[in-house]
Structure 1
């Protein structure tokens, strides 16, 4: 991707953009994610690239708009990635009309800044057959995202259509966030949408070994105890896993490349 001014990439959103599932203890919030990976590739081809990531896990659309949108626009970005609404879709009560209106209003505000906008459709995350009704919500929301993308002439990463994410190895054990492999592949697809040069390849995962019914049930039980029960508890208490965290890269800064990383203590001095 060629520009006449240094690229200023600001990532806005929730855990999808924060990088949850792509664990890296050397980095803020102990994760890396597709946005970091995209910024790294962009910086390798344009040394003056600057990057900020304001995304935080657990945030719903209203929180993202209230906490992240103005700080992002104050940085005069040339590229803004915007992902929001996934946590709203998981809620027991959902006003789809209000969600879509708020999403479109946010996109309109970003568009007024003159920045290129990168949107994403949601994926039908393979949580459990019990939660299959969420697929309908997601499909309806995605229909609106595609319409909004066309109306505001944004870039669109159509996650819903990526067949590779049908493989459970593309997902972290919590089944809600992408794994490191999933984040790397997402970075590749984002870079393709941007038309940017990169060195990322597609994952070669091989054939999944079959699992017995007993293995599937044991895995489901472990997932419920480890991930679902704590999540339900937080929902009932009105708290989020991101409540005590801060944005990973809150200010525009030179991109930290993996080869520059040492220990977490060394990173804190960057």
Structure 2
């Protein structure tokens, strides 16, 4: 009897460890991966709390997670700048990049861009981009874990339907505001704006954390007046002081939008809730 119990325990342990150990950098992508791996394994979220992918200083325990992973999923090496050193130490075939096309183009034309900030890697804000990524992710999962192919494909079909519904619902909610001019604090919203054909007249800054000069502030104010902009979208990295300086004396609504979903519970439903929250705030600003 003891032998049978020991054998059963050993068998269960072996099956558990046989499933892929997946580590994902940020919450929105972790949510997509979680949906595809349901019924097989639960991916580990690397950056928790309010850790920034741009400036994160990894703890030894986080570095250990990366080293032990069968697959590490990141947005792009230029986006997760805080992870760059650790990512370089991982075998290339164990890393899956969401913006893979940008990686390939960057390798071929590495001098085309003046700096990493000139390329926008907030691709999770475009649901259509995520549809393409889910296909690439499912193929990678099947490659490293072929025994669970049927589960991955079934989860892929379910996820595609959810993303299609989310795209349609979001498109409908924003359809009445496509002619309403808006401005953004930086380029973080480009994918969202392009996807839903919103009317952006430009961004105040191109880079995260850039200190605004008086010239840029005055130029932005003039554009807001000339284009009759009534909505300014910005991410939490922009301080209240900067936003107040920029909007002082102007009749304009502002929306502070968390594009990562720091306060949303991680997991399969995170991405759905994140897009819904972003859309709601954008609609309220554009009204």
Q: TM-score, length-normalised on structure 1? A: 0.41
Which has more radius of gyration? 2
Return the structure number with greater relative CO, CA threshold 8 A, min gap 6.
1
| Larger helix fraction of residues | 2
